[in-house]
Structure 1
Amino acid sequence: MARSLRVRRGRARLRAVALIGIDGSGKTTQAHRLAEALTAAGHPATYHRNAGGRRWLGRVAQRLGRPDPQRLIGRDGLLAVESVLRWLAIALALLSCLVTGRTAVMDRYAACQYASIRAHGGQRWERLARAGYRVFPAPRVTILLAVDPAEAYRRIERRGTDHESMRWLTAAATAYRTLPEYAGFVVVDANGSPEEVSRRIRAHLTEWFPGEPPAATDSAPPPAGRDGPVAAQARP
């Protein structure tokens, strides 16, 4: 059962918070909103997009007559490029946070790469990725935006800038739930409107948004996937 972070005492600085989840879960929208809300609440924050270049590679692949990046550079090539680009993005974001003293609101983090590797079936790459990403500290809070793959698919189709298959979205959702870090994620139901999801996120961050009502203990049901519903968990 998800529990609010209100149980934490004191007002420790929020150095970094990461929003993760499958494509179409609303990571970018919510990360921008959270950075703005934290700044307005007196905790200066900066948005950081830690992309792995998959969308860019997809556009390149289509221009070259290939349906997707994997058909262009192969699965191993895609995972290698994605892992390196995301590593560099996270390193720059953390460096910026260290220099400016602002909270880093991360749109994707290391767990996104581990999930991508699992969803692609490249498990042997995960050990290498974890060795490389081990240098990064864990965010103070990692929020998994749990959305039904069918809803994520509809959102992606509406935005019209890229395309993902239901098979991939379902595999990615399952991959997040099987990560060893899953028990430490704050799972937030991301199936509602952006406003509803923003309120749910802030309700789990009452240490930094003291005016927000605390999150209900059963407010974050994860989406059903091939393995069925999984009980939501949160960092104690």
Structure 2
Amino acid sequence: MTARFITFEGIDGSGKSTQAKRLAADLKADGIDVVLTREPGGSAGAEEIRRLLVEGDPDRWSGETELLLFTAARRDHLEKTILPALEAGKTVICDRFADSTRVYQGAARGDLRAVVDQLHALMIGREPDLTFVIDMDPSIALHRGLARASGEDRFEDLGLAFQEKLRAGFAALQSESPDRIRLIDGNDTPEVVAQTIRSVLHTTS
């Protein structure tokens, strides 16, 4: 498989992080040079911004402020981690990228999609080659996410209605970009979900 930029998206607690790690491990076992990273984060500067975004009171920031913080973190991540890895011929697997901002701040946190797209074009200008959206029942995913008690629960604390908006937002995004974004049923076992992802990956190589 040639070097590719692959992202995982989904609502909080959907299992996307587990699947990103699993795919990275599987590809490494196949002899592929893989960089596993995440957003917000993935570089020293972006990890500092991450704490501002995922910790604290749900009303800590407005949607507009979140958008600026996420974009700043993503720019640093792109410069320091993603682009250097791709240029070195490595496959990059990222737990969240710009699609999360399109849904979280662009739709669920306010009517900011046009601003999100403008900032992305100006500051990021890069789309993944392939995106997996892990789709789950929001009530199950929310329970799972809160049960982790990770201390990074700011978005989970916005409640079930917010998670339902996110799910609808990801589905709408998939309909906009069906060739790039693949919706994966996350309600099955992690093993079955992983097998589905590998099957899709091989058909799009």
TM-score by length of 2: 0.80
When residues 36 and 89 of structure 1 are mapped into structure 2, their CA distance, relative to the original with a 3 A threshold, is same
Shift of residue 55, structure 1, vs aligned partner: 5.8
In 2, Cα distance between the equivalents of 1:85 and 1:134?
11
When residues 149 and 191 of structure 1 are mapped into structure 2, their CA distance, relative to the original with a 3 A threshold, is same
Segment drifting more, 179-188 vs 32-41: 179-188
For the 8 Å contact 1:26–1:145, the answer to whether it is kept is yes
Aligned residue number for residue 112 of structure 1? 100
The runs of 4+ residues in structure 1 deviating greater than 4 Å are: 52-56
Match of 1:34 among 19, 23, 40: 23
When residues 21 and 80 of structure 1 are mapped into structure 2, their CA distance, relative to the original with a 3 A threshold, is same
Q: Does 1:160 align with 2:156?
A: no
In 1, Cα distance between the equivalents of 2:103 and 2:80?
21
Shift of residue 99, structure 1, vs aligned partner: 4.6
In 2, Cα distance between the equivalents of 1:153 and 1:31?
19
Aligned residue number for residue 198 of structure 1? 194
Q: RMSD in angstroms over aligned alpha carbons?
A: 2.3
Q: Which runs of 5+ in 1 are unaligned?
A: 1-11, 62-66, 208-234
Q: Does 1:47 align with 2:36?
A: yes
The superposition leaves residues 153-195 of structure 1 with CA deviations (integer Å, 9 ceiling, x where unpaired) of 1211221122511111111111112226442311111112322
Shift of residue 127, structure 1, vs aligned partner: 3.4
The superposition leaves residues 6-51 of structure 1 with CA deviations (integer Å, 9 ceiling, x where unpaired) of xxxxxx5142211111111112111111111011112221101121
TM-score by length of 1: 0.70
In 2, Cα distance between the equivalents of 1:196 and 1:74?
38
Q: Does 1:79 align with 2:67?
A: yes
Q: Does 1:183 align with 2:175?
A: no
For the 8 Å contact 1:19–1:108, the answer to whether it is kept is yes
Shift of residue 104, structure 1, vs aligned partner: 0.5
For the 8 Å contact 1:76–1:122, the answer to whether it is kept is no
Secondary structure, aligned partner of 2:35: strand
Segment drifting more, 177-186 vs 33-42: 177-186
**Identical columns (%):** 28
When residues 17 and 34 of structure 1 are mapped into structure 2, their CA distance, relative to the original with a 3 A threshold, is same
Match of 1:121 among 91, 105, 110: 110
Between the two proteins, the alignment pairs up a number of residues equal to 188
Larger Rg: 1
More helix by share: 2
